[in-house]
Amino acid sequence: MSTAQGSTLRRRRLGHELRRLREHAGRTHTEVAETLDCSQAKISKIEAGRVGIRTLELKAVLDLLDVPEDEAEPLLALAREGRQRGVWHKYQDALTTKFASYLALENEAVEIRTYEGEVVPGLLQTEGYANAINNATRPDHQIEVQRYTGARMARQGRLLGGELRLWVVLNEAVIRRVTGGVEVMREQLRHLLELAHRSHVSLQVLPFAAGEHPAMTGPFVLARFANRELDPDVVYLENQTGGLFLEEAAETRRYRESFDTLMQAGLDTGRSARLIGKVLHELTTEAPVGF
């Protein structure tokens, strides 16, 4: 789980700078790998910020690239900071490497934009709803489910404290699907309504009537950071066995444009809240209708 620990942003910055220095020096992955007596794949992961690099290894690379001492010291500091354990370390036994890496990025983001077509996003889930989702997707790992739910609950601290700007577009199916039973779903809908009234949370519902849309291929998360020049946007795509990060400018731009389209197609925040309230009222007064 070393790839999930420490400051993911710092590792990304260090990796990007090492790649820039290597290319400027006219060196190849092969030459750097030979210096460290490791595989070229490891060098690629270091430059992508996926894994850290030990101080002695970094010094050897900087020597190979003829980096002056005054330029090397800030990079050595980044490497030391990047190896610190992250806030998710205690949950590492229940998380995939990719999801733990995503949580580390999320913890340093200033804004998250996300579209969900099946479930309420983890940042907005109640504990009962999270347990229902995790039990459905991990039926053979009950102890792991408890740990996984704990990780998902712990991540909500920054949102509830107002440190994170969140913009969510939910497919209408998400609020109508009775997940975890009627009582659990009522609690979840009430929680959504409470969060929707917070100034740093924008919640829109994409109604069935909107028809086709650019996110029909699946959910996605777009993370944005304080210094977008140093730390460009990252898109995260999660699945049952892991996840995928997209960091190329053309890829993240496409998802930004898709999210803009979803925002335009969705109900505004006021109408979305009223629709959630209507569904909650129906759950309170009527027997739920299955899909």
Q: Are 165 and 109 in contact (CB under 8 A)?
A: no
What letters, b where the CB count within 10 A reaches 16 and e where it falls short, cover 138-168? eeeeeeebebbbebbeebbebbeeeebbbbb
| 264-285 tens-digit pLDDT | 999 999 999 999 999 999 998 8
Decide if 184 is inside a domain: yes
- For residue 176, the enclosing domain spans 89-285
The verdict on 50 and 126 lying in the same domain is no
Number of domains in the chain: 2
The better pLDDT of the pair 289, 52 is held by 52
Mean pLDDT for 167-171 is 98
| CA-closest candidate to residue 196, choices 234, 223, 235, 170 | 170
pLDDT-wise least confident of 14-28, 89-103, 195-209, 246-260: 89-103
CB count within 10 Å of CB 89 equals 15
Decide if 20 is inside a domain: yes
**Final residue of a structural domain among 33, 52, 82:** 82
The verdict on 78 and 93 lying in the same domain is no
**Final residue of a structural domain among 82, 112, 132:** 82
Give the pLDDT band (50/70/90) at residue 291.
Answer: very low
| 79-112 tens-digit pLDDT | 876 655 555 566 666 677 788 778 888 888 999 9
Q: What percent of the chain has pLDDT over 90?
A: 57
Q: Has residue 287 got a pLDDT over 60?
A: no
The whole-angstrom separation of Cα 149 and Cα 128 is 9
Q: Tell me the CA distances in angstroms from 6 to 3, 21, 73, 102, 263, one per residue in order.
A: 8, 23, 19, 12, 34
- Whichever domain contains 274, its CATH number is 3.30.870
Residue type present at position 174: V
The better pLDDT of the pair 28, 287 is held by 28
Identify the pLDDT of residue 154: 76
Identify the pLDDT of residue 255: 98
Q: Has residue 290 got a pLDDT over 60?
A: no
Q: Which of 93-107, 167-181, 228-242 has the highest mean pLDDT?
A: 167-181
In the block, which residue shows the tokens 């509830």?
160
The whole-angstrom separation of Cα 80 and Cα 78 is 5
The verdict on 100 and 31 lying in the same domain is no
pTM across the whole model: 0.78
The verdict on 119 and 250 lying in the same domain is yes
The verdict on 63 and 94 lying in the same domain is no
- Whichever domain contains 56, its CATH number is 1.10.260.40
The verdict on 255 and 144 lying in the same domain is yes
**Final residue of a structural domain among 82, 101, 119:** 82
* E strand or H helix that includes residue 32: helix 29-36
